[in-house]
Amino acid sequence: MNQDILIEIFKTSSLIREFESSVYERVEKKILRGPVYLCAGQEYISSTLAFFFRKVKLKLQLFPQHRCHGTYISFGGDIDSLILELLGKNNGCAGGYGGSASVHSVEANIYGHDGLMGSNAPIGVGMAFGNKLSTLIFLGDAAAEEDYVLAAMGWAATKKLPVGFVVEDNNLSILTEKSIRRSWSIAKVGESFGLNAMDISDDPKVIYDALNKLKFPFVLNINTVRKFWHAGAGIDDVNAFDRHENIANLLPKDVVEEITKKNKELINQKWSDLIDS
């Protein structure tokens, strides 16, 4: 991956980080009172996937998990509509009914989560079975443990559907680590079903290389680190690894500062236009 591609991916990741940080601040100030599920720390998964699939010009239908703001933004969801949804407004992207965990975009082919962990897997597989469109289904590592998720993976493998299961694996079910919950890996289970499977880090270069190799149907388990609490505004570990900072340190300082400043101003202006004023 050359630096130009990395910068383009960084632009999207920076936009997500600034958005999530702005939500965090407004939760702390009690401007937002409903539950929020922030994806800060995990931005490079959706931003790299979106860049790759735009580059290969593959039209997708998307089924995000509950921690979905990054997926929504990366794949073209309207940020104004997302803010309005978090505020519970009827002109939000889910009519004010979905909140943080269920964001939709007809224009971007994003079908929001219904709140039942992992339910987007059988729903997404069923839709792909019906219309044969290329489909990405996003799951957390805990949602991937649900029996109906595994059944959906088996069906996708058996029918050779154009489905990719993307597991955003932050190792936590709220605060319970994988080693306490299970003795198996989702990549190995998926492979046993007949899915193409990989278990990788959230380094954008690694994700990009993996996507160049994988063919549908696949399961891609991407190990990542959640920056904020499971829900709400708080930090579990201030010393935790931060992929966004890691990538920023690899790029020219002036480029990073310019992109960050632009995205921060954009997000702050959107909040100001929609609520703060």
pTM of the model: 0.96
| CA–CA separation, 101 and 122 (whole Å) | 18
Please state at what angle helix 79-86 crosses helix 3-28, rounded to 10 degrees. 20
As a whole number, mean pLDDT of residues 36-59 equals: 97
pLDDT bucket at 252, cuts 50 / 70 / 90: very high
DSSP string, 197-211: EEEEES-HHHHHHHH
- Rounded percentage of the chain residues whose pLDDT exceeds 90: 97
The number of angstroms, rounded, from the C-alpha of 57 to the middle of its chain's C-alpha atoms is 20
What is the model's pLDDT at position 187? 98
What is the model's pLDDT at position 115? 86
The overall average pLDDT reported for the chain is 96
What is the model's pLDDT at position 275? 81
For 166-221, write each residue's pLDDT tens digit.
Answer: 999 999 999 999 999 999 999 999 999 999 999 999 999 999 999 999 999 999 99
As a whole number, mean pLDDT of residues 124-136 equals: 98
Domain layout of the chain by residue ranges: 3-276
Q: What count of Cα atoms within 13 Å lies in the side-chain half-sphere of residue 55? A: 12
- Rounded percentage of the chain residues whose pLDDT exceeds 70: 99
Domain 3-276 fold: Rossmann fold (3.40.50)
For 104-128, write each residue's pLDDT tens digit.
Answer: 999 999 999 998 999 999 999 999 9
What is the model's pLDDT at position 276? 55
As a whole number, mean pLDDT of residues 148-152 equals: 98
What is the layout of strands, in order, in the sheet containing 218-223? Answer: 61-63, 135-140, 163-169, 218-223, 196-201
What is the model's pLDDT at position 1? 86
